[in-house]
C-alpha cells in the first residue's frame, strides 16, 4: 500500500489570523492540497483558537470531499465540537497553552480515563480515533488498552536531532515502535517536523500508513505555491 499524505493547513490560518482578516482561506488551501494529491486534510482546533477557528472547521466539513482529520485535545468542549462536526478522524494530542507547537506525544497511562472516555464518545459519533504518541512500547500498549485502533508516532525528536548518531537512534525507535504496533493490528501513522530532507526514511518504514505534514509544506508554498509544494512532498513519500 502506498503511504498516504495528510496535509496540515493550520499555518494558512496562522497567516490569516496575523491580520484577523479573511485571507488566506484555509478551505481554499484544503481544496488545492487535495487537487495536488493530498489524501487527507489535517487541522488542529486548539483550545486557544490561535489559528483554525470553529467556522473553518464547519466550512471544511461542508465543502471537502476528501478525508478530514481533526487534531484535538481531549477537553470536553473540543470533544463536543468534534461530535457535532464529525470529521472522518480525530487525532488526540496533548495541548499546552504556551507551547509553539505540540511538544510530545500523549502520556496515555497518566491520562487514561480522560483519553478512554474521549475515544468512546468520538467513536459513538462515528469518528475514527488516532492517538498521537511517542514511539514507545508502553505507550502503544496503553493506546491498545484504551481502545485506539490507530496511532500517530511522534517524529519530532527524529526531525530535531542534532547529529547522525542521534538521528539513527530516534529513527530506530520509530521503526521498532511501528513494527510493534502493527503486530497488535494497530494502524500506524507518523508526523511532526517532517520536511523535504528527512521524510524519505520515515516513508520507507514497512507498514507505515500515513504521514501528516504541515509546516514544511506551507513554508515551501510561500516560494513555489501550494500545489507544487504538495506535489513535491507526495512524490518524495511515494518514492
* Candidates 11, 51, 154, 192; catalytic one: 192
How far is Cα 110 from Cα 82, in angstroms, rounded to an integer?
23
Pick the closest to residue 43 from 208, 212, 189 (CA basis): 212
Q: Is the Cβ of residue 157 or residue 192 nearer to ligand PXP in the bound state?
A: 192
How far is Cα 72 from Cα 153, in angstroms, rounded to an integer?
15
Query: CA 226 → CA 6, 57, 185, 215, 234, distances in Å?
Result: 14, 20, 35, 12, 12
Instruction: Judge whether 71 counts as a catalytic residue.
Output: yes
Q: Which of residues 20-59 bind ligand PXP (CB under 6 A)?
A: 44
Q: Which of residues 117-146 bind ligand PXP (CB under 6 A)?
A: 132
Q: Min. distance of Cβ 218 from ligand PXP in angstroms?
A: 8
Count, in order, helices (H) and strands (E) of the chain. 11, 8
Does the footprint of ligand PXP cover residue 193 (CB under 6 A)?
yes
Q: Which of residues 150-179 bind ligand PXP (CB under 6 A)?
A: 152
How far is Cα 129 from Cα 88, in angstroms, rounded to an integer?
9
Does the footprint of ligand PXP cover residue 102 (CB under 6 A)?
yes
Q: Min. distance of Cβ 184 from ligand PXP in angstroms?
A: 20
Does the footprint of ligand PXP cover residue 192 (CB under 6 A)?
yes
C-alpha grid cell for residue 39? 489524501
How far is Cα 123 from Cα 129, in angstroms, rounded to an integer?
7
How far is Cα 91 from Cα 217, in angstroms, rounded to an integer?
20
Instruction: Judge whether 192 counts as a catalytic residue.
Output: yes
Q: Which stretch binds ligand PXP (CB under 6 A): 12-20, 82-90, 209-217, 226-234?
A: 209-217
* Candidates 44, 51, 95, 154; catalytic one: 44
Q: Min. distance of Cβ 17 from ligand PXP in angstroms?
A: 15
**Interface with ligand PXP (CB under 6 A), residue from 24, 26, 87, 191:** 191
Q: Is the Cβ of residue 85 or residue 155 nearer to ligand PXP in the bound state?
A: 155
Which helix (DSSP H) or strand (DSSP E) does residue 74 occupy? none
* Candidates 11, 51, 71, 152; catalytic one: 71
Q: Min. distance of Cβ 194 from ligand PXP in angstroms?
A: 6
Give the contacts of 195 (CB within 8 A, at least 6 positions apart).
159, 213, 215, 216
Catalytic residues: 44, 71, 192
Interface residues with ligand PXP (CB under 6 A) are 8, 10, 44, 71, 91, 93, 101-102, 132, 152, 191-194, 212-216
Amino acid at each position: 500500500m502506498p503511504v498516504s499524505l495528510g496535509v496540515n493547513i493550520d499555518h494558512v490560518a496562522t497567516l490569516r489570523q496575523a491580520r484577523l482578516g479573511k485571507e488566506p482561506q484555509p478551505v481554499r488551501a484544503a481544496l488545492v492540497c487535495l487537487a495536488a494529491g493530498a489524501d487527507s486534510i489535517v487541522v488542529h482546533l486548539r483550545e486557544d483558537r490561535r489559528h483554525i477557528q470553529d467556522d473553518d472547521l464547519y466550512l471544511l466539513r461542508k465543502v471537502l470531499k476528501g478525508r478530514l482529520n481533526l487534531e484535538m485535545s481531549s477537553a470536553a468542549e473540543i470533544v463536543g465540537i468534534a461530535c457535532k462536526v464529525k470529521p472522518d478522524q480525530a487525532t488526540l494530542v496533548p495541548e499546552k497553552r504556551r507551547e509553539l507547537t505540540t511538544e510530545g506525544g500523549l502520556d496515555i497511562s497518566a491520562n487514561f480515563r480522560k483519553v478512554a472516555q474521549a475515544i468512546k464518545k468520538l467513536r459513538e459519533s462515528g469518528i475514527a480515533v488516532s492517538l498521537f504518541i511517542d514511539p514507545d512500547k508502553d505507550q502503544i500498549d496503553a493506546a491498545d488498552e484504551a481502545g485506539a485502533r490507530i496511532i500517530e508516532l511522534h517524529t519530532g525528536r527524529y526531525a530535531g536531532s542534532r547529529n547522525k548518531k542521534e538521528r539513527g537512534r530516534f529513527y530506530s525507535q520509530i521503526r521498532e515502535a511501528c513494527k510493534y504496533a502493527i503486530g497488535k493490528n494497530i494502524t500506524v501513522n507518523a508526523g511532526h517536523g517532517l520536511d523535504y530532507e528527512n521524510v524519505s526514511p520515515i516513508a520507507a518504514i514497512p507498514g507505515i500508513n500515513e504521514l501528516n505534514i504541515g509546516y514544511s509544506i506551507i513554508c515551501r508554498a510561500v516560494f513555489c505555491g501550494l500545489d507544487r509544494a504538495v506535489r513535491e512532498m507526495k512524490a518524495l513519500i511515494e518514492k
